[in-house]
Structure 1
Amino acid sequence: MPRTDVPEVPGVLAAADVAATARSIAAVQESSGAVPWFPGGHTDPWDHVESAMALTAAGLREEAAAAYDWCRRTQRSDGSWPAKVVDGGVEDPTTDTNFCAYVAVGVWHHLTCTGDDEFARRMWPVVRAAIDLVLDAQTERGEVAWARGGDGTWASEALLSGCASIHQSLRCALALADHVERPQPDWEVALGRLGHALRAHPEAFADKSRYSMDWYYPVLGGAVRGPAGLDRIHRRWPEFVVDGLGARCVDDRPWVTGAETCELVLSLDAVGEAVLGRELLAAMQHLRDPGGSYWTGYVFTDGKRWPEERTTWTGAAVILAADALARTTPASAIFRGDGLPLGLAPVGTGCGCDTYVTGVPG
């Protein structure tokens, strides 16, 4: 009998299907706790945490705890992680701010699901160090530089999708800080400044508008919600969504990808379009392998799956989307932002714009 506390979306995914997907992720997990993209592939901090969240949501809590322990043990002294690790060795030492911040989302998700206060207090120093590092890359306007190279210099560019994800990370980090009774007022200010930049200053970010993530991530990360969020989603829907298949990764390529489709599902759910989200989750099931894992994408002009790999993070995105739609776990609302801090509205920015003209976080 399938566990009743595993998410299921009737007519799309049974609880047994979701459990099989979680097992496919756990089967790739290394003895260190790392969750690489696929067997023998590299581990990056962001996708590793997303996989840990999926393991928690599907009830594989020991495996999830091992993944978070990997984060704790491998964090560098400055609060960062390398961008790529292969079999315990560093392949790319770059510090990616979005990658580093995302541990806060995972820790808050795990705590919300499990109520494990000991876990929260053990992981708090990890989250605090990571967030402090990330905010060192924030400009006065509010955006966060995307990376730091080996010379210690922050990149001159900020990425919209990455900063929108950092917005979500800051909200979860503040919630964790409140839980462990370590308030961080500077983080509240930083969150307000970042949200303002995301809503009102598109010029702050490198132009990556070809990519679907730049389209939906300001909604997914909680910076743009309500009517503004709905308008943002519907405005470019025809450019990115392919009926019956899912969402494109890039607007001018005939390639739909499972993870982007499921993140769009989460974005739709966050703005009250759960029915439409369910339809999209159903549409991308052509990427499902009989064993429960998911192929990364599909080139619909050629009728071929590409690349020829089944990625842990694609399966993880499916599980998190299913949980959001099913409202199964206590953390199913994490991307809706229910109860998460909003940050402090910036004052004295001198930019002459209305902070809330393009949407208020919900």
Structure 2
Amino acid sequence: MGAAPALPEVLTADQVLRSADYLVRAQEPDGAIPWFPGGHTDVWDHVECAMALTVTGRTVPAHAEAARRAYLWLARSRHADGGWPAKFRQGAPVTDLREANHAAYPAVGLLHHLLVTGDAAFAERTWPVVESGLDFVLGLRGEHGEILWARSEDGSPGDHALLTVCSSVHHALRCGAALGARLGRERPAWTSAADRLETLINDREDLFADRSRFSMDWFYPILGGAVRGVAAKERLQDRWERFVVPGLGVRCVSDQPWVTAAESAELVLALAAMGEREAGTRVLADVQHLRDAEDGAFWTGYQFAEDVRWPVERSTWTSAAVILAVDALSGTTDGSRVFLHTWDGV
């Protein structure tokens, strides 16, 4: 047992646990965690929720069990080629499109689970999920080593790569290699692919489709660990005023009066990786207006020109992102090292 993460100036441990309770209530009998109760599930957001439950599972055993069930669902829901359908509804896939970032992200979640719990037996049990997912991803490499965004329903690869996706895949390849090393399963090809992505993200942003209006393309190269040091500071400073709305949070896109709690929390993860705890705490505090005080769930976003919450939903992955941001800033669990990029030697 251990204490739940907290930032006294933003969220108490009890408030964090209540936000995690919402994820448990949303979880379906087969282990899937949809966007909201009765909604659809995608693997990336499902894994983010599982990580949040792993963090709070040190305090609440039911959360730990929910996280394990979420990871075991991944093995049962895979496509034959190692990827996952991009969308599930009530346990059934609704498309055969398989996205690269979905296939990669279990590697991040399962290293995180091992760091928090120390459960090497569970890591061994779920290793095939990591291996098949990352091998699927490497099958989508483009001419320069970039990762094409998806494999379509007919099996053909996508025709472009996305900076946010490749940044997340870079993170996953590093985590997968680190997990493999702990299990005695070295995967130098994953490290090599991550090295190549790091070079492209830093030096060849022109290779990626232009999504510069999205804040994720701004901070994900830092969150994913590809851009660090002076380059990271310069990147954040260059677009800070374009995306950050003081007192409200982070815009999803630069040209709309719309802030979201998830983008805000993920910027906090990037700031935590840079050691910018004060700035991260301030951004996380700014977005607390989206927390539902009744049960701790977070609304997805706020359209501040119209003064309305939009969309009118409380997405599970939004609450999960906030929990992970609190843990990264507080350093409460060793899982926070996944986002601080300091897992070596743990």
TM range (shorter): over 0.9
Taking the aligned partners of 1:14 and 1:25, their CA distance within structure 2 comes to: 18
Matched, 1:154 2:157: yes
Pairs within 5 Å for 1:75-114: 75-114=78-117
1:67 to 65, 70, 74: 70
Instruction: Describe the superposition over 1:53-112 as per-residue Cα deviations: whole angstroms up to 9, x where unpaired.
Output: 000011121000000010011112211110000001211221100111000000000011
Q: Deviations over 1:233-290 (max 9, x none)?
A: 1110000000000000000000000000000001011111110000010000000002
2:8 aligns with 10
Distance 1:276 1:218 in 2: 18
Aligned length: 339
In the TM superposition, what whole-angstrom CA distance separates every residue of 1:168-196 from its partner, at most 9, and x where no partner exists?
00010001110111111111211111111
Match in the other structure for 2:17: 19
Tell me, in whole angstroms, the C-alpha distance in 2 between the residues paired with 1:47 and 1:339. 22
CA contact (8 A) 2:337 2:343 kept: no
Tell whether the 8 Å contact from 1:142 to 1:196 is kept in structure 2 after alignment: no
Task: Check the 8 A contact 2:95/2:153 in 1, yes or no.
Answer: no
Give the match for residue 248 of structure 2. Answer: 245
Partner of 2:54: 56
Secondary structure at 1:333 match in 2: helix
Give the equivalent residue in structure 1 for 2:300.
296
CA–CA distance in structure 2, aligned partners of residues 339 and 39 of structure 1: 34
Alignment match of 2:261 (pick from 253, 258, 262): 258
Per-residue CA distance 1:279-318 (angstroms, 9 max, x = gap): 0100000000021100000001111000000000000000
More helix by share: 2
Name the aligned partner's letter for residue 322 of structure 2: V
Q: Secondary structure of 1:251's match?
A: coil
State the distance in 2 between where 1:264 and 1:88 align. Answer: 31
Answer whether contact 2:53 2:67 (CA < 8 A) is retained.
Answer: yes
SS of residue paired to 1:298: strand
For the residue of structure 2 that corresponds to 1:92, the secondary structure is: coil
The structural deviation recorded for 1:20 is 0.1
CA distance in 2, matches of 1:150, 1:327: 41
Counterpart residue identity of residue 44, structure 1: D
Cross-structure match for 1:353: none
Distance 1:90 1:78 in 2: 15
Taking the TM superposition and a 5 Å limit, the aligned residue runs for 1:1-362 are 5-59=3-57, 60-290=63-293, 291-340=295-344
Q: Provide the rounded CA distance (Å) in 2 between the counterparts of 1:19 and 1:189.
A: 39
Which whole-Å CA distance do the structure 1 matches of 2:344 and 2:195 have between them?
A: 13
Contact 1:4 1:15 in 2 (8 A): no
Counterpart CA distance in 2 for 1:50 and 1:26 is: 13
Q: What is the root-mean-square deviation in Å for CA atoms of aligned residues?
A: 1.1
State the alpha-carbon separation in 2 of the partners of residues 271 and 329 from structure 1: 18
Q: Is the 8 A contact 1:138 1:144 kept in 2?
A: yes
Output the CA distance in 2 between the equivalents of 1:145 and 1:313.
24
Contact 1:111–1:117 under 8 Å retained in 2: yes
Residue 276 of structure 1 aligns to a residue in which SS?
helix
In 2, Cα distance between equivalents of 1:31 and 1:121: 24
Verify the 8 A CA contact 1:55 1:64 in the aligned structure 2. yes
3-state SS of paired residue (1:335): helix
Residues in 2 aligned to 1:134 and 1:324: alpha-carbon distance in whole angstroms: 27
| Structure 2 counterpart SS, 1:208 | coil
**Equivalent residues of 2:34, 2:40 under 8 A apart:** yes
Q: Which amino acid is the alignment partner of residue 26 of structure 1? A: V
What SS does structure 1 have at the residue aligned with 2:79? coil
Look up the equivalent residue of 1:189 and give its one-letter code.
S
Once residues 113 and 54 of structure 1 are traced to their aligned partners in structure 2, the CA distance between those partners, rounded to angstroms, is 11
What stretches of structure 1 of length at least 5 have no aligned partner? 342-362
Q: Say if 2:20 and 2:319, in contact at 8 Å, map to a contact too.
A: yes
With the length of structure 1 as denominator, give the TM-score of the two structures: 0.92
- Runs of 4 or more, structure 1, over 2 Å off, are none
Query: How many Å apart are 1:4 and its aligned residue?
Result: 5.5
Q: Distance in 2 between matches of 1:91 and 1:287?
A: 30
Segment of structure 1 superposing worse, 205-214 or 268-277:
268-277
Distance 1:327 1:185 in 2: 29
Distance 1:78 1:248 in 2: 36
